[in-house]
A and B are shown apart, each in its own frame.
Chain A
Amino acid sequence: MPHLLRRPTAVFVLTGLALAAGALAIIAEPPVFAQSPYQERDFLTRIRRLTVEGRRAGEGYWSKDGTKLVFQSEREPGNPFYQIYVMDLSSGDVTRVSPGMGKTTCSFINPVTGDIEFASTHHDPKSKQLQDEELKFRASGQERRYSWDYDPEMEIYVRSAKTGTYKRMTNARGYDAEGSYSPDGRWIVFTSTREAYSRRLSPAEQKQLDTDPSYFAEIYIMRADGDGSDAKRLTHVVGYDGGPFFSPDGKRIIWRRFNEAGVIADVHTMNLDGTDDHQLTDFKAMSWAPYIHPSGKYVIFASNKLGFDNFELFMVDIDGKKEPVRVTYSDGFDGLPVPSPDGTQLAWTSSRGGGREGQIYLAQWNHQKALEALAAAGPRKP
């Protein structure tokens, strides 16, 4: 690389000439964090960016055999919203599995049948219009802060692995999304705001719905092979309950619960019938996107404990008895962690590559080190 160039970046090296006698002082000491004897590299090695195409991508979930990852990404030409894609982790092939129209989110691969569930608005006749409006808005150079609109058109669909056809699983007015399968593939646990659309709301509630519909979101469970009519509500606490996943043994559900104001969130687990609600975290911050490691011993989640815009990954023992251990140490967003089925890798969404938009990252996960760090953690602070 020459530095004789028409480019400013060359300048800084050239300036070295002024003090040619001095050697380059390279100080390799990494920053030390008093709070924890561990660093990112203790838990995550061979970090690499997995998704490259498109404005952003996120929420990568593994197939049971670990050979595929289903994720959402804004990369469909003419559509500024997420669509769902499957990446083959041996060939690198990427295939869109959602219809391509409208908004989609929150996909998951059935561990038994290979069917893929996701939420979508493609049935909404306004889809094309909304896409064009958003494209126009972006072309105008304006930017909005990230926000999720809890579109009441959002419904859960299942794409058949055999035929590639879509089956609509929810029909209730309201946002139905954030679904995931049980390990035996027979159940889907999901989030819905249907409550807010099914009864007459008080003026205060109506105002709440207009400003923050997620307030009404609750956790539901339904049969994966049914038509959604058996959906059963599991949570009954005001404030956003969402992002549910099954435990590896299929006996519990883990999710995050926001407070009424929608500012503080914590990780909870419960039985499949909604009983035995157990809170695992208490950071007085936004702790969310929990996922249980396949060993069943601990949970990896994201929290903005260290700064409103700075989400980092943490982990906590499955009973939440100890103080969580910090996992990532990078500026910007680190969230939505999902360990591979064999527990040796971690996929998560991060903005560490620069800019505000996230992409999916992949790293080797050091399970032994995680257990060691969790064992050494102190009791949970009151």
Chain B
Amino acid sequence: MRSTRTAIVAITAAVALSTAATFSQSSATFRTRTYVETLASERFAGREAGSAGERLAGDYLAAQLTRLGAKPLPGRDSLFLPFDFTAGSRDGGSRIVVGSSTFNAPQDVLSLSFSDDTEITGSAVFAGYGIVVPESQNFGYDSYATLDVKDKVVVVLRYFPEDADPQTRAILLRYSDLRYKALAARQRGAKALLVVTGPRSPNAGQTVPISFDTALSGSGIAAASVTSRVADALFAGSKPLKDVQQQFDSGNPHVAGFPLPNVTVTLKTSLVREKQTGRNVVGYLPATAATPTAAKPWVAIGAHYDHLGMGRNGNSLAAKDDAGKPHLGADDNASGSAAIMAIAEALAKQPVRRRNLLVAFWSAEEMGLVGSNAFVTSPPLPMNQIAAYLNFDMVGRMHDNKLAVQATGTSLGWATLLERANVAAGFDLTLQPDPYQPTDVQTFNQVSVPSLNFTTGAHADYHKPSDTADKIDYEDLDRIASLAAGVVNRLMDQSEPPQFAKVEQSSQTVSRTGVRVFTGTVPDYTSNAKGLLLSGVIGGGPAEQAGLQKGDIIIEIAGQSITNIYDYTYALDLLKIGQPVKVVYMRGNDRRETMLTPAARN
């Protein structure tokens, strides 16, 4: 605290970590409150990407950046970087004709969200669950092993074999995502994929709701889900579907599919994708040093500023009473945006910057990291010129001085840098190496930029209208901005930029489409506790009914020991709806047991 930033100016020698350490700035310099309160005000109506509120919020951020002296990126004349995305899809009139019967959307058929718009005719082949396990898994399961589906319409069951033993289910469910099934069918030359939810599965006989998908185009195959009425027509000349499904449900890989006798199908798929334009707001503070750092002359900081708007898409967790109210997103992610602005403000005032500071506010993050992906897909500057990227997502709800820093596995240099920068800041840091986080840090990891994400974690107001500015802990948010400014300064001063390290994506990372059970637990994502620490339970849900509560640590479920959130996800996949399982958990020092009955998820 003794030295000031001017001390750095005096030091002109080759700057290594030790001199960077002279940077220390009281968090009193950082003022995040105004930014949060403005961004989370009703005026911006929850900042849904593509909405008027998002435009107003973008205008506000651009004005603030301009005030700080930030400039458009080289070669650009504006701080706005617009991109197109699909904000939602609905069926545009799909239709299926089986023999002489015609079925229409939305009653009996719905295009899948990734379907091509087309019309095809072909004979039908039933391919069981339509699952292909890659050979590399040392586990033989190929629904197409004995089938010729070239130019055919492939009919498959949704999900994965219902009665398979837990190990088999665990493997099969990884390859049961509908996109994956469509890919397998397309690779074998099929013209179309029809999905039936079998009579022995949850949601039996129903179509698959069109999920939110931000892709701008289809996936090269006609794909639709149909009801049991359509299935009955398809299986009119075969055994009843229920009996057929039962054979496949054992998981026995030798149960083979078969052509559906005398069934010709004409399928018309039609999806209406609502295209919208979002805007990333990106500028930079140019390096000012007489001899700027040559290697990778950029440091980037970013946060998404969009949120859920009025909560009309599926991401809202608002209770019924609150549905349709603006989701103000004070923590998610006005807090991160405010941190970025405060850091930029501090760096703007600093006389010497040895690297350019790229300052980014992403949009459409809530729709699947769309804005940041658009940025790296057609990058305004080469990504390999960026020494490092720091992301901030939900940093306004500090608890017990704990700050989670994620994606630390992207460079060996992070631990050193964080340790030194945190000595003055004084957070109880939790380091999580995994960069595959549900936020924009993932985007930069994928283009091999050493990255970090800062977060104070999820809470009861997550994705609800109650995530409001009065609940933000501004003092600690200012401290986070201060810590991050310290990290940015060290990055700017380091002549050797951090080396990127690739973190393998955990094989346990499964598609969520496989998960069908609902337990009503809210895990604490920032915890490194051994087991699964609950940051809450959903009112009335199975976990609450089982007597679990916030602060409990689940260490075993259904005989599977749980040491982390991956174990838990994995174990969840093996649960059966309505079948009670034993849960072992720690409450303080007490080891307790209870029975939990998983419910069905929609």
Contacts and interface: CB of A to CB of B under 8 A. Distances in A.
A9 B527 CA distance: 12
Task: Pick the most buried of A2, A91, A329: most chain B CB atoms within 10 A of its CB.
Answer: A2
B290 interface: no
Nearest to B511: A6
A5 B315 CA distance: 11
A12 B537 CA distance: 10
Contacts of B420: 92-94
B419 A18 contact: no
B565 interface: yes
B365 A2 contact: yes
A184 interface: no
A3 B438 contact: yes
B332 A25 contact: no
Given A53-B415, A331-B530, A3 B539 contact: no
B537 A21 contact: no
Contacts of B422: 48-50, 52, 92
| Size bracket of the A interface | 35 or more
A53 B589 contact: no
A18 B602 contact: yes
Given A8-B509, A90-B424, A94-B420, A19 B538 contact: yes
A13 B393 contact: no
A375 interface: no
A25 B512 CA distance: 24
Given A18-B601, A28-B550, A30-B551, A49 B319 contact: no
A282 to B, nearest CB: 22
Interface in B1-57: 1-3, 17-18, 21-22, 24
A100 to B, nearest CB: 16
Interface stretch (B192-200, B257-265, B513-521): B513-521
A91 B368 CA distance: 39
A200 interface: no
A353 B430 contact: yes
B565 A87 contact: no
Contact of A21 (B319, B368, B393): B319
| Size bracket of the B interface | 35 or more
B549 A27 contact: yes
A26 interface: yes
Contacts of B551: 27, 30-31
Secondary structure dominating the interface of B: loop
Interface in A19-40: 19-33
Interface in B456-472: 458, 460, 462-463
A354 B530 contact: yes
B428 A48 contact: yes
Contacts of B429: 48-49, 52, 353
Contacts of A306: 589
Interface in B516-568: 518-523, 525, 528-530, 536-541, 544, 549-551, 565-566
Contacts of B367: 2, 4
Task: Pick the most buried of A9, A49, A92: most chain B CB atoms within 10 A of its CB.
Answer: A92
B525 A2 contact: no
Nearest to B572: A11
Nearest to B331: A1
A16 B460 contact: no
A89 interface: yes
A87 B566 CA distance: 36
A17 interface: yes
B566 A8 contact: yes
A354 B320 contact: no
B25 to A, nearest CB: 13
Contacts of B550: 25-28
Contacts of B590: 31
A2 B522 contact: no
B439 interface: yes
A201 interface: no
Nearest to B539: A22
Contacts of A331: 529-530, 586
Contacts of A20: 317-320, 323
A110 B504 CA distance: 46
Contacts of A22: 319, 538-541
Interface string B433-476: 00011110000000000000001001010110000000000000
A332 B438 CA distance: 29
B131 interface: no
12 contacts: A1-B455, A7-B436, A11-B515, A16-B522, A17-B317, A18-B602, A27-B551, A50-B422, A90-B424, A92-B420, A92-B423, A93-B17
Interface of B: 1-3, 17-18, 21-22, 24, 212, 314-315, 317-320, 323, 332-333, 365-369, 393-394, 400-401, 415-416, 418-424, 426-431, 436-439, 455, 458, 460, 462-463, 508-512, 515, 518-523, 525, 528-530, 536-541, 544, 549-551, 565-566, 569, 572, 586-590, 599-602
Interface of A: 1-33, 46-54, 87-94, 306, 329, 331-332, 353-355, 361-362
